[in-house]
Structure 1
Amino acid sequence: MKTPQPSKNREKRTKSERLEARLTSVQKELLQHAAEIEGTTITDFVVRSAQAQARRVIEEHTRLQLSLEDSQAFVEALLNPPEPNARMIAAAAEYKRANASK
């Protein structure tokens, strides 16, 4: 799943949505201080930080989802293995020949 990443120019032209949040004075001071360190406004800092965290959450969810699907496929292959093909039979025979004298 690819996360949407609009270009900066398009983002500036189409900013029409609003997000409001209630903060404690301590939270606001923390965000303001961080924004000042980065030389940006508190709004830009919060939006950029929220976008970065949103991307991390989506990526993590995608990795976990794929990991779960891979695990299920692995267990399915263990419980219901496919019939060996000619190449696998030949490899097993070669392995037995190579290890017969050991």
Structure 2
Amino acid sequence: MATLVNDRIDVRISKEHKALIKYAAEIGGFKTVSEFIVTLAKNEAIRIIEKETKILKSMDDRVVFVEALLNPPAPNESLKTALKDYSQFTNLSIDDLKGFRKKA
């Protein structure tokens, strides 16, 4: 399926870069340098977006995450039990572990 071309991006590059890109496009089997550049730019854009949104997919997720960091809830019984179990497993006292959280 052909993609409708209806926009343009102009880029200025050195002759050396142009020759390198043209050569890579040729040996890569692309019909044109434009096809090569668009394909690679699109693939890289998708990779960056996927990387940056892998954990926190939506803006709501990001808001919840930051809010939890800035205003953490009080520990519930399950967390307190986990802390006790961890301190016993590592031979650390609970007081040793309290120093990890900085006071504001």
TM-score, normalised with respect to structure 2: 0.54
Q: Which residue of 2 aligns with 1:21?
A: 11
2:88 equivalent in structure 1? none
1:43, distance to aligned residue in structure 2 (A): 0.8
**Structure 2: gaps (5+ residues):** 86-104
Amino acid at match of 2:74: P
Larger proportion of helix: 1
Match of 1:31 in 2: 21
How many percent identity over aligned positions?
27
What displacement does 1:61 show? Answer: 1.9
What pairs with 1:56-67 in structure 2 (closer than 5 Å)? 56-63=47-54, 66=56
| Higher RCO (CA 8 Å, separation ≥ 6 residues) | 1
State the Cα distance separating 1:62 from its structure 2 match: 1.3
Residues 12-91 of structure 1 aligned to structure 2 (within 5 Å): 14-40=4-30, 41-63=32-54, 66=56, 69=62, 72=66, 75=69, 79-84=72-77, 88=78
Unpaired runs of 5+ residues, structure 1, are: 1-8, 97-102
Letter in 2 for 1:32: K
Local SS of the residue matching 1:32: helix
- Note the aligned Cα RMSD (angstroms): 3.4
Q: TM-score, normalised by structure 1?
A: 0.55
